[in-house]
Amino acid sequence: MRVSVWAPKATSVHLVSGDQRFPLERAEGGKFTAELAELGPGHDYAFSVDHGDPRPDPRSRLQPYGVHGFSRVPDPHFTWTDRRWQPPPLAGGLIYELHVGTFSAEGTFDGAIARLDHLLELGVTHVELMPVAEFPGTRG
C-alpha cells in the first residue's frame, strides 16, 4: 500500500503500526511517502513527525478510535446488496437531519439504525447524516 503525508517543515516522518515504525522518504513539495506491503485493510496506523507522538492520518477515511486516535485502513471491496433499491421522490419528502453522535444513547451508526423505525412513524422519507466532518470529543 502506498502512503503519503504532507509535512513541509518536518525532517522525518514514520508510519507507526503496532510496535513497528516505518520511515517515509521525503519527496518534492514537503511530501513524505512509502510503499508498505505490510499495511493493508484492517491495520491501524498513525504518523510520527520528527519522532513525536503518533498522530492520525489527516486524510483518513476511517477513525475507529475518534479523531485523535489511530487511523485504520478500510476495506475497499465492499459488496453492495441493494442494487435494485430506489429512493422515494425528494419532492414532497420529509428530510430529517440526523446527528449520528447524538441520535441514540450509543452515538453510533448501529444505534441510529436501531431507531429508524421511529423516524418512519413520524413520516420521515429521507435522512441527511450529520455532521459531514468529524470533530473532537466522543460524539464527533
What CATH number does residue 16 fall under?
2.60.40.10
> According to the model, what pLDDT value does residue 87 have?
82
Number of structural domains the chain divides into = 2
Q: What range defines the domain where residue 107 resides?
A: 79-140
C-alpha cell of 70? 489511530
C-alpha cell of 34? 512509502
Same domain, 88 and 41: no
C-alpha cell of 10? 518536518
Prediction pTM value:
0.66
Q: Average the pLDDT over 121-139 and give the result.
A: 80
CB under 8 Å to 23, separation ≥6 — which residues? Answer: 12, 13, 14, 34
Same domain, 107 and 53: no
Least confident of 2-6, 23-27, 67-71: 67-71
C-alpha cell of 4? 503519503
- How far, in Å, CA of 94 to CA of 97, rounded? 10
The answer to whether residues 68 and 46 touch, using CB atoms and an 8 Å cutoff, is no
